[in-house]
Amino acid sequence: MCGIVGCILKDNNEEVAPILFDCISKLEYRGYDSIGLATYFNDKIHIKKDKGKILEVDKKLNLADMPGNFGIAHVRWATHGDPSKLNSHPHVDENNTVAVVHNGIIENYLEIKKQLIKEGHVFKSDTDTEVIPHLIQKYMDEGFDLEHSIRKTIEVIHGAYAIAAVSVNEPDKIVATRKDSPLIIGLGNEGYYLASDSPAILKYARDIIYPEKGEIVILDKTGVVVHDEFDNVVNKEIETINWTPEMAEKEGYDHFMIKEINEQAIAVKNTLTQKDNIQQIIDEIGDIKRICFVACGTSYHASLTGKYLLESLAGIPTDVILASEFKYSANTLDEDTLVIFISQSGETADSLKALDVANETSKTLGIVNVAGSSITRRAKYVIQTQAGPEIGVAATKTYVAQLTSIYLFVALLSNNQELLDELNKVPDYIAESLNDVEYIKSISKRYNFARDFFYLGRGYTYPTALEGALKLKEITYIHAEGYAAGELKHGPLALIDKNIPVVVVIPPGDNYRKTMSNLEEVKSRGAIVLAVGSSDDESLKAKANDVIAINSNVGEIIAPLVYVVPLQLISYYITLEKGYDPDKPKNLAKCVTVE
């Protein structure tokens, strides 16, 4: 989590701070505890940093006003040490000769710090990161250059990191490296860039190099050189990102989340273009006896929908495992198992750990939104969802794009033309579901009082209920639980009363009657029921307190792709009612690069 950027401009007379500030602002979704910039000018490292959101800190420090034509910057999501000015990056050694920004966790920092203190180093922060500039300085004092001091440093530190460093003893360059945390290098017209994620630099560079673990990248004003661990120059492939800078802007919307909710029809439409690629992957994979999904959070809910589809429509036994719990299931994998990793970012540490294990025994497939991310580089097969950059921390358009890929995969695997035809109608259904915004806004005002919610779904829409509850929890801070509608009576029904709204996801289909009985159960215990159901369902309108209507042609099999939209909108508008920022939920970051 945390975000890092760096830039060195070709023109010595240009100032880098406004560019660094612009780039790092684009990564605020990765961390918003604090921000800091370091530039080099006139034999000195200049630093401005503090805790707080970017705009607050900028108001105080005027971050774009710093001298120099190269530098580094950081946004923090605290792991070691409170959010505070001292704990903010960049961190320096005691002589201010080396400045470092870091994304990741140094697991053995305490023992390193102890040893460095014994050797006379003086520390100012509680962070794990601060050992890095001290180690680099120590090796530079021993006579190593910046590159080799970093090389020696990464021999000592354990954990996950993307690091960028500048030094007064070797000016006019930025040196960077990574292991298990993302890092991309951008080749632009005006200069060279590094970043944790592409939205940071889209405006300046779309030709990208992806450094691998342990490679050292040296950026100076003449270009970028990458060295492997034996100091050999590596000829890296340059890949061009097809996202535009505008795609990572709010484009007139109040928040990224609502912009991204509105982009869902197009995200599905664009992802449907992957049909031929998916067919090719299916052909290459060949026989599969079992499928195992591995994912976290929203991507886990997409996977769970995949299980319902694969088992009921393709007859393939399917498991869904939380990536952080994967190691307990790893020894059940074999070469006939396809392990599917679903991830928006492609950088989730829990998923990456599991992927490395799965690669040893099984065929692996990544369903990923971010091109060039670690999962796309490590999985044996890749389906690229076409949602465009997602900036809001709460996943929305990437979720429907993940679902679209899964539906396509299942439809092609089971030769289900009817399902393929239905999928082509989904963009229109989603667009139509967005017409009810005023009604959802008004409902949100009324439901905003609650401290707890239940979300119920059955069959294909049980994962939809889980996702609805997650969206509510993460941005409104209201406690919510998603439940299989039939399971409520086995315990949680005891909690139901007039203070707990129950959101019932009830599309037309085989499960309708049973779910309706569950709705009546909670209604008769006094719950307020908000239902999402078919527009022609008169008995639902008679029974529920409020009904959000979805096109009656959306049956239960494709319902997960459409019924989730009003659930996202409810969470969004309740968040606004409460006065919170839906794009930056507290304690959360977009990309979770720690285990």
Binding residues vs ligand M6R (CB under 6 A): 296-299, 343-345, 348, 351, 393-395, 470, 474, 591-592
Cβ neighbours of 124 (radius 10 Å): 11
The residue with tokens 């995949």 is 306
Phi-psi region of 241 (alpha: psi -120 to 50; beta: other; left: phi over 0): beta
Closer to ligand M6R by CB, 15 or 28: give it: 28
∠258-261-264 over CA atoms, to 5°? 150
Distance of CA 574 to the CA centre of its chain: 22
Parallel/antiparallel/unpaired status of strands 184-187 and 207-209:
antiparallel
Cα end-to-end distance, the chain, whole Å: 11
Kindly report the backbone phi and psi dihedral angles of residue 239, in degrees, each rounded to the nearest multiple of 5, phi listed first.
Answer: -115, 140
DSSP for residue 490 = G
Closer to ligand M6R by CB, 16 or 375: give it: 375
Closer to ligand M6R by CB, 88 or 344: give it: 344
Residue 591 known to be catalytic: no
Please tell me which residue in 7, 259, 590, 591 is annotated as part of the active site. Answer: 590
- Looking at the DSSP bridge assignments, the partners of residue 14 are none
Least distance to ligand M6R, CB of residue 323, Å? 8
Least distance to ligand M6R, CB of residue 295, Å? 6
Least distance to ligand M6R, CB of residue 476, Å? 13
Residue 153 CA to residue 158 CA, distance in Å, equals 10
Least distance to ligand M6R, CB of residue 292, Å? 16
Per DSSP, the residues of 344-363 read SSS--HHHHHHHHHHHHHSE
Closer to ligand M6R by CB, 504 or 591: give it: 591
Is residue 345 within 8 A of residue 369, CB to CB? The reply is yes
- Give, in order, the Cα–Cα distances in Å from 165 to each of 37, 63, 80, 115, 315: 12, 19, 20, 22, 53
* Run of H or E including 100: strand 98-106
Least distance to ligand M6R, CB of residue 394, Å? 4
Closer to ligand M6R by CB, 114 or 327: give it: 327
Please tell me which residue in 2, 7, 292, 591 is annotated as part of the active site. Answer: 2
Is residue 301 within 8 A of residue 457, CB to CB? The reply is no
Is residue 532 within 8 A of residue 504, CB to CB? The reply is yes
Residue 529 CA to residue 550 CA, distance in Å, equals 17
Closer to ligand M6R by CB, 395 or 412: give it: 395
- Helices of type H across 68-204: 109-118, 131-141, 146-156
- Give, in order, the Cα–Cα distances in Å from 66 to each of 11, 61, 95: 16, 10, 20
Closer to ligand M6R by CB, 131 or 195: give it: 195
Closer to ligand M6R by CB, 131 or 393: give it: 393
Least distance to ligand M6R, CB of residue 369, Å? 8
Closer to ligand M6R by CB, 457 or 508: give it: 457
Locate 516 and state its tokens.
Answer: 């309706």
Residue closest to ligand M6R (Cβ): 297
Least distance to ligand M6R, CB of residue 226, Å? 26
Helix (H, G, I), strand (E, B) or coil at 11: coil
Least distance to ligand M6R, CB of residue 267, Å? 14
Is residue 29 within 8 A of residue 589, CB to CB? The reply is yes
Least distance to ligand M6R, CB of residue 567, Å? 12
Residue 363 known to be catalytic: no
Cis peptide before 90 (omega within 30 of 0): yes
Helix (H, G, I), strand (E, B) or coil at 15: coil
Residues involved in catalysis: 2, 590
